[in-house]
Amino acid sequence: MVWIGGAPGAGKSTIARGLARRGDLPLHPIDLWTYAHLDRMPPLRPLAEDLAEGPEYAADAFVRIARLRLELVAADVQERSLGDVPALVEGPQLFPSMADGVAAAVWLLPDAEQTRRVREERLARANDPAGRARLEGLLARDAVLADRVRREAAERGRAVIEVPAEPDWAAITQAVEDALGPLPGLQPGEELSRQRRYENLAACVQGRLWQADAGLAELPPYPFACECGSSGCTATWSATPDEYDARRDQGWLMTHSAC
């Protein structure tokens, strides 16, 4: 694995998607396996109860859960049968003190204003009163976790990129690529297409489970990767899981005329 970690609002997901698609890398966002991991872990205390104990307690609880999930992430990546090609993993669960076995990693840490803006934008896209109620607690916990990453990274000589309130995303993306170094990609054609289908199907499963868990009447559309298998293809198609299934029934998802 190679890993892009850090706090919410740092652009991890967007940067990881772009890097994976330009470099033909298998993408492994941990959010897409959240519900699968819950089924494989012991029962967890509700997040609201952890937040009620204060930001330090909630941060410690997050780290404990993150350690449990790391073993599951390693198993999930192994199941993808990638050979010598590393999965580009994206998520906040890896801390520098846990990264000794990770080939390359970088952490993106936004300032408090950027984190708040992104969390509020996410809440605005969904009717989630419970999420709104715990916003301030999450922001306080995020700050504690970010400070922990900074401290651990400094102690271990690991790469951290600070993300300001007005980010220069091109510069930040380049800094991420420099930190991870050159990476071997998937073979174009069937293997690359197969891994993109795998990622799209995981997004469908996660979306539907989130919809059921949150009691949403319908899901907002989100991006699916083109499955053409062409090297460097960055084309996406914004759709719901049902729309993706209907398109997939006609064959591979190909989203541009060049496919």
Rounded to an integer, what distance in angstroms lies between the CA atom of residue 253 and that of residue 236?
9
At residue 201, the pLDDT reads 94
At residue 131, the pLDDT reads 66
Instruction: Express each pLDDT in 130-140 by its tens digit.
Output: 666 778 888 89
Which domains occur in the chain, in start order?
2-180 (3.40.50.300), 190-248 (no CATH)
User: Which residues of the chain fall below pLDDT 70?
Assistant: 123-132, 251-252, 255-259
pTM, two decimal places: 0.89
Query: Which amino acid is located at 67 in the chain?
Result: R
Torsion of Cα atoms, 8 then 81 then 71 then 53, to 10°: 20
At residue 130, the pLDDT reads 67
Residue 173 near residue 19, CB atoms below 8 Å: yes
Rounded to an integer, what distance in angstroms lies between the CA atom of residue 236 and that of residue 255?
6
Contacts of 183 (CB under 8 A, 6+ apart): 2, 23, 25, 86, 88, 104
In the numeric block, the tokens 């174009």 are attached to 188
Q: Which two tokens stand for residue 73?
A: 């992430």
